[in-house]
Amino acid sequence: MPTWHMLSLQDSASPSMEQLTLFHDFTMAIMTLITIMVTLNMVFISSYTLTDRFLMQHQLVEIIWTACPVAILLLIALPSLQALYILDDPFSPSVTLKAIGHQWYWSYEYSDFSGVEFDSYMTPTLDLTPYQNRLLEVDNSIALPTNTQIRLIATSADVIHAWAMPTLGLKADAVPGRLNQMMFSIKRSGIFYGQCSEICGSNHSFMPIKIEALPMKTFLTWVLSFN
């Protein structure tokens, strides 16, 4: 979970988020290198009054400073395409979770299990216990199994919402009359927090999402508790 002083991304808990983190670090390394080179070049230009006339009109130099940006863009584009294909990689899901956005709470349905559905409201600040997180705790959290192929289906009952879970690298628009789906898996047990990422009204900031990632045996015990 992020805190106020964090500058980096949250610790990944899914293969797709790991790929996004690697791509982010790779791109930031290239941008940092370019920034340093441009800064040094500006310092040298401002420090010396003499210039090499062949540097401004030499064909080889022009070819180099045209080819280098093209090569850099290709270096960035190839990992980007790989990350996009991993995010859209289709598979046969073992668990399907349907998230329905409302003003201003979430409803969840487990399509594979009869009768497993509930509403999830934010826990008021006055009802929080020690060590609970303000504006992130809910009365009914989502339970999902680890190391399992999961499909998320997002939609809305009123206005446009967005179901977002940064730790898993997920963000699905919840649009009325439309079903958006995302595939993912969770690599480790834990509690993960997200929020609605589409401005949906006055209480937009009070639609948190809480996932409890459990081993499959514990998850099935939780499912049976609804019957």
Q: What would the pLDDT profile of 66-78 be if each residue is shown by its tens digit?
A: 898 899 999 888 8
Q: Answer with the one of 65, 88, 111 that is the final residue of a domain.
A: 88
Predicted local distance difference test score (pLDDT) of residue 99? 94
Counting residues of the chain whose pLDDT is more than 70, the rounded percentage is 94
Tokens read off for 35:
């920034």
Question: In b/e form, how buried is each residue of 97-113, taking b as 16+ CB within 10 angstroms?
Answer: bbbbbbebbbbbbbeee
Q: What would the pLDDT profile of 162-200 be if each residue is shown by its tens digit?
A: 999 989 888 999 999 999 988 888 999 999 999 999 998
Q: Answer with the one of 31, 56, 88 that is the final residue of a domain.
A: 88
Domain harbouring 68, CATH code: 1.10.287.90
Q: What would the pLDDT profile of 208-221 be if each residue is shown by its tens digit?
A: 999 999 999 999 99
> What is the pTM assigned to this prediction?
0.79
Q: Which domain holds residue 35?
A: 15-88
Average pLDDT over residues 139-156: 92
Q: Indicate if 174 and 153 belong to the same structural domain.
A: yes
CB atoms within 10 A of CB 205: 14
Instruction: Answer whether 213's CB lies under 8 Å from 144's CB.
Output: yes
Q: Answer with the one of 46, 66, 88 that is the final residue of a domain.
A: 88
Total domains present in the chain = 2
**Cα–Cα distance between 60 and 62 in angstroms, integer?**
5
Distance of alpha carbon 7 from its chain centroid, rounded?
16
